[in-house]
Structure 1
Amino acid sequence: MDNKYSACTSFLAGNRATADGSTIIARNEDSKPSWPKHFKVQSHESIEDNHFKSNENNFEMNLSSIRAKYTSTPEWTDEFGLFEEDGINEYGVAMSATESAYTNPRVLSFDPLETDSGIGEEAMITVVLPYVKTARDAVIYLGKIIEQHGTSETNGILFSDKDEVWYMETAGGHQWVAQRIPDDSYAIVSNQLSIQEIDFNDSNSFLFKDDIKEFVENNHLNPDPKSFNFRNIFGLNDLSDEYYNTPRVWEGQRILNPEIEQSPVSHDMPFIRKASKLIQLEDIKQILGSHYEGTPFDPAGSGSDEEKHRFRPISLPATQESHILQIRPDLPIDLGGIHWLCMGVAAESIYVPFFAGISETPAAYHNGKQNYSSDSAYWTFKLSSVLVGAHYSNFIKQLNDMRTSTNVIINSRLHSLQVDILNSQDEERQYKLNQAAKEISDIAIDAFKEFNSKIISASTALSPLYFEHNSNL
């Protein structure tokens, strides 16, 4: 198998941009239509001679002997790398890695990617998240790794804690910058370098490789020396953006800022915006599950064939999992940190909330290989997409109705469990956190299994060979 290619869509929002004061980072992990993910908790451990060696290339490094507890979504196999992708650690730091992007050839001629020995997507969660205590520290920690070891890819990485949200981008083999998302704002990213103007005098909002300015000046890389626009200096900005990348940013901004008129192929959309209203979790789910509903560009809509296939949608069959990492500042991290996990296609699956304080995940999230198996959470949710996709107009309303009613049940139970666990004694708290994970995930899995059973039965009459016959003959 070729190395994993991840073509994702990411979302970030500060704590004054959201309705409940949470910080939010979120992303669709897009790679292959049939490549299961698992969901695990890596325990707090003291590991003597803690050393990481990648299965993807020759990247390796020594790590701290103390590894903090963290949640993660690794691949079903580690043959090609771990790809843990997203999680929340015991200190209240959330991380999502990565948003794949591209460095232009001009920059690469001066600082090539370290494809053989640099850090890549598959390793980033594993070597960073268990060893950092704030989002800002995480940016600096990963930046030092990139400077020392190089990176094998151009990537965007998302970090948050209860106070701050950061978006970090790498370029070339050793360059990086990071921008703090303002508390009252949001950002949407789609497979292109997105950070724009860097203010080197604003350490509250920007972090960067110490000599990146000199690197650009010495190699004459800046097309506009009066400014330092990271996207323009290091990125591509080619025609593929107009059908593959920028329309996804446009769609997210259309949902959160419907009052703003802009073209889906515009290269001038800002990286950061203020939403026209406070952002709810439902808004983020809508963005990550979007396929341009209500526009001529919806592949399942009523536009012309050309319009329906003009732009790459946000939600598509290649999504392995989608996650929303929420940190509420008014609760302790074991309850206020919530890892919302949606296995499979976001438009046709459901986000299941798991408290960050869990010490184990339900058994169904440990199961699932490349071929379908009924005991796997990934395959249970993916099966619904397959069944509905085969007869979309027949079953999509039933699927959406089921998702809506199940979401109401899950959200109601989540709030009740938060109150109960918050008031519980320490000795029973861990047990209740783990039981909450099982109870809520069972609600979702059981609902989808029942739906699948009904749709399989109903589909038996939808064969092109079907013929209305007389039962008496």
Structure 2
Amino acid sequence: MKKITLLSALITSAITVPAFACTTILVGNQATTDGSFIVARNEDYQANNAKQFIYHPAEAKQKADFKSNANDFTYPAAENALEYTSLSDFDTHGTSMGEAGFNSAGVGISATETIYNGTQALAVDPYVTKTGIGEDAIENVILPRVKTAKEGVELLGKIIEKQGASEGFGVAFVDKTGIWYLETGSGHQWMAQKIPANKYFVSANQGRLTTYKPHNPDYLASPTLVSFAEQHALYTPVTGEAFNFHKAYSQDTKNDQTYNYPRVWTLQHMYTKGLNTKITQGESFPIFLKPSHKLSVADVEQGLRNHYQGTSHDPYANSNPKEAYRPISVFRTQESHILQVRPNLPIAIGETEYMAYGMTALSVYIPYYQGMTEVPKALTIGTDKADNLSANWQFRKLQTIAMTNWNEFSPIVQKAYQQFEQQTAVKQQELEKQYLAIYKKQPKQAQALINQFEQKTVDNALALTNELTNTLLTKMTHNTDMLYHFEGA
């Protein structure tokens, strides 16, 4: 994930370079066990940077223009702003760095997957670092305004064309009709594609889209995408060779072979058996794949928790912080989210955001329904300093302790959280059944059911987390005692 910028001398004019990273998984509804669309991502930055779950009520007119906390990008206040949720950095107070959420029209966004556009493309169309749109602004600008996923793509695309992109990024949009994924190509060029309904897509800090069909309704792009590439020799038409967005606007470098390729390769081989791709040859990885079996939210959670366990590249089991392969699950993950859209259900319960604080391999995914209007207080607080009240830090403390003795402590945490997630799934079914029975005739009572469910689920998750923290502290105390016992005669 990009939170700060670093000067680069890769090209003649200075550009911003994404300093951090994420992993994205998108699944079409014909590739899932329950016919849902799934958009998921780990947001990786710094372990001390607390995230807050923010509910933004609808507004006839927003009180002020949007002003980025990362640069000088601004955007006019929205008229008839829709209700939406965001996962914001503690120091933005919910005004920016939203990352993920749903709005009341049923549109979900995950923003952003940091990507690296090609140096040749950026040499002729650099990022607009001072006033362009970037990760800090995207969700908070787009979600209050759009009523479909496609509208979200088109609005972000127009902003990129007019005001520029401040960095390279990929953004996922979802609604009841499908998933769109947009990638930047340079400061003002972009393209987006609708994810095939029967396939899944994985991205790990690289531009992944390749094919562009200008007259196909499943593709959108900046008007000069191809002509600009031709004009600046990013693409030279050759008989039989179609325009390739990745080749023209992205890059493959030596660093990708250890930082990005292993994550994509691992997830593709996890979900699709029998692939013969080699881990170092990312240029040949398929863009979209059919899974060997239909995927569930639990399968996506498993993917986001992967750290090459069972192999020599597992940095935690092997106590190797210098492992060359960058794992999917890293300690500095701030939050991980899975946006699920079930089109056959009312939006209030059919759109669910599963969110885990901190390191995915040592955290628990809790479901938050779009119909939630009262966010449990523990989710809305927390700073960059440890405390005893915020959900962020209660989860983070447990993870920090578990990391001191991975092989002994992590199985305890993982087993308890797995059981909790399974129990919560059963309770979700009960809630949804109750909601469907009354929501038409008793909408207020139905909404209250959702708020009560969320509060109780968060309370139970935090109670379990504190119990686990004390369990590990007890074991750590004993281990320390045995190490420095000095018993005497």
TM-score category (smaller protein): over 0.9
The whole-number CA distance in structure 2 between the counterparts of 1:379 and 1:327 is 29
Give deviations 1:22-79, integer Å, cap 9, x for gaps: 1010100001122110111111111267521112211112143111111110001028
Q: Secondary structure at the match of 1:16?
A: helix
Are residues 93 and 363 of structure 1, via their aligned partners in 2, closer, same or farther at CA, if it must alter by over 3 Å? same
* Structure 1 equivalent of residue 220 of structure 2: 207
2:256 pairs with 1:241:
yes
Give deviations 1:85-129, integer Å, cap 9, x for gaps: 000111111100000111122111211110010011000000001
Q: Secondary structure at the match of 1:379?
A: helix
What is the percentage of aligned positions where both structures have the same residue? 33
The 5 Å alignment of 1:90-109 reads 90-109=104-123
The 5 Å alignment of 1:236-385 reads 236-267=251-282, 268-301=284-317, 309-385=323-399
2:82 pairs with 1:68:
yes
The whole-number CA distance in structure 1 between the counterparts of 2:116 and 2:299 is 28
2:38 pairs with 1:24:
yes
Question: Residue 15 of structure 1 contacts residue 163 of structure 1 at CA under 8 Å; is this kept in 2?
Answer: no
Are residues 80 and 311 of structure 1, via their aligned partners in 2, closer, same or farther at CA, if it must alter by over 3 Å? farther
* Structure 1 equivalent of residue 60 of structure 2: 46
Q: Secondary structure at the match of 2:201?
A: strand
Question: Residue 56 of structure 1 contacts residue 80 of structure 1 at CA under 8 Å; is this kept in 2?
Answer: no
2:466 pairs with 1:452:
no
Give deviations 1:155-184, integer Å, cap 9, x for gaps: 000011112111100121110100111000
The whole-number CA distance in structure 1 between the counterparts of 2:280 and 2:430 is 45
Shift of 1:433: 1.6
Amino acid across the alignment from 1:455: L
Amino acid across the alignment from 1:106: Q
Q: Secondary structure at the match of 2:273?
A: coil
Residue 406 of structure 1 is aligned with which of 413, 416, 420? 420
2:446 pairs with 1:432:
no
Give deviations 1:304-336, integer Å, cap 9, x for gaps: x69x81310000011000000001112100010
* Structure 1 equivalent of residue 15 of structure 2: none
Q: Secondary structure at the match of 1:55?
A: coil
The whole-number CA distance in structure 1 between the counterparts of 2:93 and 2:80 is 26
Structure 1 gap segments, 5+ residues each: none
2:151 pairs with 1:137:
yes
Shift of 1:470: 5.3
The whole-number CA distance in structure 1 between the counterparts of 2:403 and 2:62 is 50
Shift of 1:462: 2.0
Instruction: Judge which range, 217-226 or 331-340, deviates more.
Output: 217-226
The whole-number CA distance in structure 2 between the counterparts of 1:100 and 1:70 is 23
Instruction: Judge which range, 332-341 or 292-301, deviates more.
Output: 292-301
Amino acid across the alignment from 1:401: K
Amino acid across the alignment from 1:440: T
Shift of 1:187: 0.3
Shift of 1:465: 7.2
Amino acid across the alignment from 2:315: P
Q: What is the RMSD of the two structures over their aligned residues, measured on CA atoms?
A: 2.0
Question: Residue 71 of structure 1 contacts residue 88 of structure 1 at CA under 8 Å; is this kept in 2?
Answer: yes
Give deviations 1:261-288, integer Å, cap 9, x for gaps: 3222212101111101100111100110
The whole-number CA distance in structure 2 between the counterparts of 1:411 and 1:146 is 40
Question: Residue 28 of structure 2 contacts residue 199 of structure 2 at CA under 8 Å; is this kept in 1?
Answer: yes
Shift of 1:458: 1.5
* Structure 1 equivalent of residue 180 of structure 2: 166
Amino acid across the alignment from 2:243: F
The whole-number CA distance in structure 1 between the counterparts of 2:93 and 2:56 is 19
The whole-number CA distance in structure 2 between the counterparts of 1:24 and 1:334 is 16
TM-score between the two structures when normalised by the length of structure 2: 0.92
The whole-number CA distance in structure 1 between the counterparts of 2:397 and 2:316 is 19
Instruction: Judge which range, 240-249 or 78-87, deviates more.
Output: 78-87
Are residues 270 and 458 of structure 1, via their aligned partners in 2, closer, same or farther at CA, if it must alter by over 3 Å? same
Question: Residue 93 of structure 1 contacts residue 161 of structure 1 at CA under 8 Å; is this kept in 2?
Answer: yes
Shift of 1:467: 4.1
The whole-number CA distance in structure 2 between the counterparts of 1:142 and 1:124 is 8
2:242 pairs with 1:227:
yes
Are residues 212 and 129 of structure 1, via their aligned partners in 2, closer, same or farther at CA, if it must alter by over 3 Å? same
Q: Secondary structure at the match of 2:89?
A: coil
* Structure 2 equivalent of residue 191 of structure 1: 205
Question: Residue 53 of structure 1 contacts residue 59 of structure 1 at CA under 8 Å; is this kept in 2?
Answer: yes
Question: Residue 21 of structure 2 contacts residue 45 of structure 2 at CA under 8 Å; is this kept in 1?
Answer: yes
Q: Secondary structure at the match of 2:173?
A: strand
The whole-number CA distance in structure 2 between the counterparts of 1:195 and 1:291 is 25
The whole-number CA distance in structure 2 between the counterparts of 1:280 and 1:406 is 17
